[in-house]
Structure 1
Amino acid sequence: MRATTVAALGATLLLALLAACKPASPPAAPAAFDPLAAARAAAGRFDNREAPVVAACYTRTDGAANPCWVCHTAANGHNRADDADLQVRYAFSAAAQTNHWTNLFVDRRAAIATIGNDEILAWVRADNYTPLREQLATRRDYLGWRPDLDLRAGFDEQGFARDDSRWRAFRYMPFPGTFWASNGSADDVFIRLPAAFYSDADGRYSVERYRVNLAILEAALAVPDTVPDAQLVRRVEPLSEDVAGFDLDGDGRVGGTVDTIRGLPVRYATVAPIAVRRWLYPQGTEFLHSVRYLDPDAPDFIAARLKELRYSVKRGDYTPDALANVYAEERQAKAVGALPHFAGRAETGLLNEHGWQLQAFIEDAAGRLRLQTDEEHYFCMGCHSNLGVTVDQSFSFPRKRPGAEGWGYQTLAGLRPVAQAGQREPEILAYFRRAHGGDEFRANAEVLARWFPGGRLDEAAVRGADLRALTLPSRERALALDKAYRVLVGEQRFTAGRDAPLQPPAQVHRRLDNDETGLAERDRVFRDGRLWLDWGDAR
């Protein structure tokens, strides 16, 4: 028995004895939900020191199926991870050779069958964000990030939060595989820049200045490294050059409204000069990412109920040279077999070596959002620390849709399948062709039936389909996936994984004794994976 359990039992007995000595009193009101309790109870506890190695990394490739290329790729931009070799070998530490994500192997079909459709629809349509926001708003014993976005108030047509919190919603291409709704979750992402980026010389809020600076950031982050700074072209929402104070569209004049940025500006339109660094966010940039259940009757299946709420803020301000040193140090640490370690703790957020601080919330058994534990936070760090494909450790913003239509609450409407930068075929087609399925474990039976009839990819059908047909599940599958995750929430074993497959996938390793994937022998290693997209004329 754990020492913490013994201590807890002792404290319970002591309280019971004290209570017995006191006069009887009226029954106490039910204790208010404490979203910090689970994280505090598990502080410093780790069952899996390699929690940053996510479940997808244990895929069984059979020497042919390669879903790994979308994350592990050659060096690009300022990302010097250059981890394409992880397609060749798993390269796990001794601690990671055993697959700790045992939730993958639990058969929940009987439990799923006990949940009715009406029951799960009521569940996914309930708001579990507002109670978290209310609980943390006045907590004096909490030093972490407090949810300050009013999701009920929503966003205007340009994506600005109606609550004046300065959060802005943007529309982006979902990352291949895990983040397609057909694999279980929908999501949205919001960005916020520090006050310097939306304040005028008198310190007043200027939405036009904010638009200009967000557009400059978009040009700096979303154009691939194959394009030199001087040749950069990015279509943006209509901007005022008078507000910017400098030439944005490269016509040699300053003034009027423009909808294109040509050439990377050297500075942001701020009162005090702030330099633009390509593929790097300015210090103080914030992201808010909600991972949601599926509602087949909601636009793009985005349900009201959150599975997770993820927040990140850029604390450090590193130069490209400093970042190169960070990557070199990380490679050295991996070479000597050092286990992952991040500064911070659940209640304040964890800080990675690249200057990003992350904090996240997940459901408790009753579906209320609670602060993740230290170990649960380590899981988040796996994709946001030293992964080869990210752009300054981020995924969504570099994949933002160009122009004014790229601002607003997330929707797949109007999005068409496009190629990754430097590739010729649509990203989804490339993923299907290389991964041999629609997810890392080739376990999405609906995708296999739709797009791989008879076990062969129907390339013509994929090319002729829109994004919703390619990435959204059927109503039946959406409800089944919701039920599976609801069962997982009740179990509260997230340290054993967050995947809730409809049945245990066959193409996954329980343990790895041979670290070779077999992909190199069959010429199935791809070093061209990029987060950036080729939007064609829409650039």
Structure 2
Amino acid sequence: MPATHALRLSLLAALGGLTLGGCQTDGTDLWNGGGQDQTPLAAATGLSGAYVSLASFSNPQPNIPAQCYIETSGGTQNACVYCHTNGLAEANPPLGNNNAQGDLQVAYSFAPGLSVNHWENTLFPEKLRAMAASLGVNPDAWDMQAYIRQDNWSEAYQARGAALAWNAGNGALRLFPALDPADLPARTDGFVRSNDPQHGYFHDGQGWNTGWRALNFMPYGIFTPMTGSVSGVYIRLPQRFMQRADGSYDLTVYQQNLDLLERAIQNRLAGGDPGHYYGAAADVAVRPGLYPLGTEFAHPLHYVDVAADGSDPVVSRFPGTRAQRVKEIRYMYKWQDFDPARAPAGGAEEEEGPGSVLVNAEQGWIDNGAGWVLAGYIENAAGRLRPQTAEELMQCFGCHSGRGQGGGFKSGVGNTVDSTWAFPRKFAGSLGWQEMNYLGYRHDPAAATSATPGIAGLGDPFNRGKGKGEFRYFLDTVVGASLYGDMPTPIEQYLSARIRAANGYSADWPALDASDPERLLAAQRLRQQLMRELTARGEHLDGSRHIAGALLYPPQEAALAGAARYRQVVATQRYTLGKDVFAATPFTYRYYRPARYAYTHADGRPYAQGEIITDRPVDAGGAGQVPTLIALATEAEGGTFNTDYQPFLAYPSRFEP
């Protein structure tokens, strides 16, 4: 459902025939239990893993994220559209080969056993608190501001080994990205440079260029300051993309290749663009929607520090509320090139099924089945970074799998391009080649701890296909702050103060009355209508025509409280039960359906109004068919159902007027 549907893990069929460095294999040894050294991955990269059955996990499908189980308030809150659409497949099949993704907006189509919501930390935060207490953990004694301002990234980087290598030795941090936080932040052109020649491929006149370049992009409602997690994202291409034809390094050549790749990923290739990359990479074809072999992404996921805007290195060297402490360090390496023409196209959606995955939990990486190795390092109970376990790594598949070859292993995500989210949504030109700063956040030192902590420095960028601001479209379709459809108190207060009949709106912003499901549904529909009135009037923007800070940035008190809730997951190491923890169970996880839309538990027991939804029924054929209610009305009819959404921003950049 909303964030990512299930993956069909029939990995043998998924790989089909693979081409690696001119040598072809039928893939049989990879998924039929062949020795580790016989796998195409081992042959191509030297990485040796083991096959783990999904049946061994406590959650049989950890790739289905918690957001997929929320209710949609009668279809008025459609978070599903940000993953499950046909737009890319219809616009350019190599970008997204499956044009049935939009069907996943219609029903909770989980197979038997998968209709159960296993994300206990998110569903029942009180159970997490009890577990922490049983371990002697007292969150009230934590100094969370001091905690999030500690650096836990540098220690892990120093332990990884070689400074430049993507594959450093055979230790536990073998695939920890070769990006030294001491070299950050990136310079104004986005390139990460170092004073240490061992960290750079060449000296470009400004420093030793590490090859990494920062991306500034428009986030979804997944990792935002209001959700408690913020990202930096960095890309690096192989050395020959930095070189002239004679092998000498050239910053201009590297810039040209990165810009050309941006156009390929964002479906903006024009007739005048070359068919191959520049310089020493002239033998590499430019293909829409595909990264070249050897592409790397580094993704530090930070806690939120609302005082961090890049102006005070004592607080944090990073902008955009990115705290010094990271929750995770994530990494992607493209080891295999899939031919889009051989990927399965179209057809009905595929149900998830049993399978196994190739992982190395001791080194914290997993093969995503679509050409990428994904690595993840997360805090241990003491806050130091450790490799993720196999089940923890499987959560990465929820967003980063994409299409496979030969029959069935493909993600339910219709809005990734070659398994990635950030680069397709990079801001145009130089605005997008800089540190991720969450709409140019600027901290207000005079703000009270209970007030909005700062302002945005950017407006609402137009979505290329919608002809309206991307954030405006998010508010119109989700009517909430995140893909959970939740409405934090600061946003609720902002809307209540502005949306008044006395201010020219059709009604006052209504409270939610849960005493009767019909009244509740009516209130939600009114909220959707009023939210659209707000955005049409441009009142999601401030007086400078930038996105209103109250809609993006939590007060300091709220941010630290959210960090303390997440730290309970760290202290208990219960990541497999959910990383998103709310003060109370989100409204969208409770059953409030009128009789005409009713459904039961999987075992046939009726739900009581207000009961937490833990499971949904499946039909006689074994597929979940409970309607989401999103398809009750299309956008043209005033609803939210839209199967054609595309994640791209307008080029050149345009903003809501």
Q: Name the amino acid aligned to 2:486.
A: A
Q: CA deviation at 1:536?
A: 4.7
CA contact (8 A) 2:97 2:340 kept: no
Q: Name the amino acid aligned to 2:263.
A: A
Establish whether residue 123 from structure 1 lines up as the match of residue 147 from structure 2. Answer: yes
Establish whether residue 373 from structure 1 lines up as the match of residue 396 from structure 2. Answer: no
- The normalised TM-score by structure 2 is 0.65
Residue in 1 that maps onto 2:321 = 301
Q: CA deviation at 1:81?
A: 2.8
Residue in 2 that maps onto 1:477 = 558
Q: Name the amino acid aligned to 2:307.
A: D
Identify unmatched segments of 5+ residues in structure 1.
1-38, 231-262
SS where residue 379 of structure 1 aligns? Answer: helix
SS where residue 512 of structure 1 aligns? Answer: coil
Paired residue for 2:157, among 133, 145, 154? 133
Task: Please show how residues 97-496 of structure 1 align to structure 2 within 5 Å.
Answer: 97-104=115-122, 105-107=124-126, 115=139, 119-137=143-161, 140-142=170-172, 144-154=174-184, 155-163=186-194, 164=200, 165-175=210-220, 177-223=221-267, 229-230=270-271, 263-271=272-280, 272-299=282-309, 300-322=320-342, 324-325=343-344, 334-335=350-351, 337-339=352-354, 341-346=356-361, 347=363, 349-385=365-401, 386=411, 387-411=413-437, 412-413=439-440, 414-445=457-488, 446-451=490-495, 453=499, 454-455=509-510, 456=527, 457=531, 458-459=534-535, 460=537, 461-464=539-542, 466-467=546-547, 469=549, 470-496=551-577
Query: Which stretch has the larger CA shift, 305-314 or 504-513?
Result: 504-513
Q: CA deviation at 1:115?
A: 4.5
CA spacing shift, 1:485–1:43, aligned 2, 3 Å: farther
Establish whether residue 510 from structure 1 lines up as the match of residue 529 from structure 2. Answer: no
Q: Name the amino acid aligned to 2:151.
A: D
Residues in 2 aligned to 1:408 and 1:357: alpha-carbon distance in whole angstroms: 25
Residues in 1 aligned to 2:473 and 2:654: alpha-carbon distance in whole angstroms: 21
Residues in 1 aligned to 2:295 and 2:241: alpha-carbon distance in whole angstroms: 10
Residues in 2 aligned to 1:518 and 1:404: alpha-carbon distance in whole angstroms: 42
CA spacing shift, 1:161–1:515, aligned 2, 3 Å: same
CA spacing shift, 1:75–1:432, aligned 2, 3 Å: closer
Q: CA deviation at 1:535?
A: 4.1
Q: CA deviation at 1:376?
A: 0.5
SS where residue 156 of structure 1 aligns? Answer: coil
Residue in 1 that maps onto 2:513 = none
Q: Name the amino acid aligned to 1:191.
A: I
CA spacing shift, 1:468–1:306, aligned 2, 3 Å: farther
CA spacing shift, 1:328–1:142, aligned 2, 3 Å: farther
Identify unmatched segments of 5+ residues in structure 2.
1-48, 163-168, 195-199, 201-209, 310-319, 402-410, 441-456, 500-508, 511-526, 590-612, 618-624, 635-639
Q: Name the amino acid aligned to 2:160.
A: L
Residues in 2 aligned to 1:531 and 1:207: alpha-carbon distance in whole angstroms: 29
Q: CA deviation at 1:348?
A: 6.4
Paired residue for 2:644, among 523, 528, 531? 528
CA contact (8 A) 1:417 1:428 kept: yes
SS where residue 203 of structure 1 aligns? Answer: coil
CA contact (8 A) 2:630 2:641 kept: yes
CA contact (8 A) 2:364 2:388 kept: no
Q: CA deviation at 1:538?
A: 5.7
Residues in 1 aligned to 2:565 and 2:646: alpha-carbon distance in whole angstroms: 32
Residues in 2 aligned to 1:53 and 1:142: alpha-carbon distance in whole angstroms: 27
Q: CA deviation at 1:114?
A: 5.9
SS where residue 423 of structure 1 aligns? Answer: coil
Residues in 2 aligned to 1:328 and 1:422: alpha-carbon distance in whole angstroms: 22
Residues in 2 aligned to 1:433 and 1:340: alpha-carbon distance in whole angstroms: 38
Residues in 2 aligned to 1:499 and 1:143: alpha-carbon distance in whole angstroms: 25
Residues in 1 aligned to 2:172 and 2:232: alpha-carbon distance in whole angstroms: 26
Residues in 1 aligned to 2:355 and 2:553: alpha-carbon distance in whole angstroms: 35
Residue in 2 that maps onto 1:72 = 84
Residues in 1 aligned to 2:379 and 2:173: alpha-carbon distance in whole angstroms: 20
CA spacing shift, 1:54–1:466, aligned 2, 3 Å: same
CA contact (8 A) 2:156 2:385 kept: yes
CA spacing shift, 1:52–1:522, aligned 2, 3 Å: same
Q: Name the amino acid aligned to 1:494.
A: Y
CA contact (8 A) 1:71 1:529 kept: no
For residues 131-168 of structure 1, what are the alpha-carbon distances to aligned partners after superposition, in whole Å with 9 as ceiling and x for unaligned? 11223328644584133211122122212212323111
Residue in 1 that maps onto 2:15 = none
Residues in 1 aligned to 2:252 and 2:468: alpha-carbon distance in whole angstroms: 37
Residues in 2 aligned to 1:43 and 1:462: alpha-carbon distance in whole angstroms: 47
Residues in 2 aligned to 1:367 and 1:494: alpha-carbon distance in whole angstroms: 13
- The normalised TM-score by structure 1 is 0.79
Residues in 2 aligned to 1:209 and 1:229: alpha-carbon distance in whole angstroms: 19
Residues in 2 aligned to 1:144 and 1:427: alpha-carbon distance in whole angstroms: 38
Residue in 1 that maps onto 2:60 = 49
Residues in 1 aligned to 2:298 and 2:53: alpha-carbon distance in whole angstroms: 24
For residues 493-515 of structure 1, what are the alpha-carbon distances to aligned partners after superposition, in whole Å with 9 as ceiling and x for unaligned? 11111112122212123211252
Residue in 1 that maps onto 2:20 = none
Residues in 2 aligned to 1:462 and 1:535: alpha-carbon distance in whole angstroms: 22
Q: CA deviation at 1:264?
A: 2.9
Query: Which stretch has the larger CA shift, 144-153 or 374-383?
Result: 144-153
Q: CA deviation at 1:58?
A: 0.5
Residues in 2 aligned to 1:151 and 1:436: alpha-carbon distance in whole angstroms: 37
SS where residue 166 of structure 1 aligns? Answer: strand
Residues in 2 aligned to 1:57 and 1:496: alpha-carbon distance in whole angstroms: 14
Larger RCO of the pair (alpha carbons < 8 Å, separation 6+) = 1
Residues in 2 aligned to 1:146 and 1:53: alpha-carbon distance in whole angstroms: 25
Residues in 2 aligned to 1:133 and 1:339: alpha-carbon distance in whole angstroms: 36
Query: Which stretch has the larger CA shift, 59-68 or 460-469?
Result: 460-469
For residues 389-425 of structure 1, what are the alpha-carbon distances to aligned partners after superposition, in whole Å with 9 as ceiling and x for unaligned? 1111111111111122321211222432123221022
For residues 269-310 of structure 1, what are the alpha-carbon distances to aligned partners after superposition, in whole Å with 9 as ceiling and x for unaligned? 032421110111111111011111011110121101000111
Residue in 2 that maps onto 1:27 = none
Q: CA deviation at 1:98?
A: 0.4
CA contact (8 A) 2:427 2:653 kept: no
